[in-house]
Structure 1
């Protein structure tokens, strides 16, 4: 009696037709390698899929954070812009008119210097509203090699000045300049409010 008859045969039979045959060691090794490669490929595909999914979640979370941050930034910027409105209005309505009035003589001196250079030797006149004449009375003394005649015109309002050298004449209107700046401030804050209202 052979030893093989005493023990059960656990080798893997391969069915061919109606008969079973034993798988050779080489075929068994090929079968194992194919199973390993298939398992490895499935694991690799699963890892790539998980990584892609995780990357997608991270990207989505990052984009959401950027959106939230952008919204917060624009909200803060709009709030800051609106909070500066009283300051800008005070500058335009109170500080700027006073500053222009206080420095009107200096501005006129600069403008007259430019005009006098272009028309040397011509008579120089500065025509202002009666309320501005007193403030400008001594502003031009000893500043020019020629005399500057200060005239008053009741048709002019405060802040309006007419400069003349010979036949050349130009006008300065501080009030119109302040009004123009005020209109620009109004337009700016109207735009800010519209942007805030419509997001």
Structure 2
């Protein structure tokens, strides 16, 4: 039996190549192709291949549809959260404005209360000073009255006699 290299070399030289069962090598290739095609047709391989491809296509379409749905949901959530963030920012801004107004109102009230307290304290101090002045004036007047009565007694005692008293009493009665 010749080896494969010998057969190949002979085929290149154009010499006759031995054939098995009287069939040439190109005929064996054709026969193998026919058998293969026959098996494919008999086993419905093209249908299986197209069926497999169709099921794979359907699965990919389903995955794409699911991805589109998920993307739409994600965009909806993103828009919802963007709106919530914008709303939260507006609420925060309003809260800051309200807090600023409250702080300004508290400062204004504190100023007004402080000024009112200063006025009250000033009034109280002025009232105390006026009361002290009145007390001092009353004290001075009392001392002056005391000094005047004491001086009057002394003067009357020194200058008036009983005759002068009688004469003074007569003058007063006569003027009435």
**TM > 0.5 fold call:** no
Q: Which has a greater percent of strand?
A: 1
Question: Which has the greater radius of gyration?
Answer: 2
Q: TM-score, normalised by structure 1?
A: 0.36
Q: TM-score, normalised by structure 2?
A: 0.41
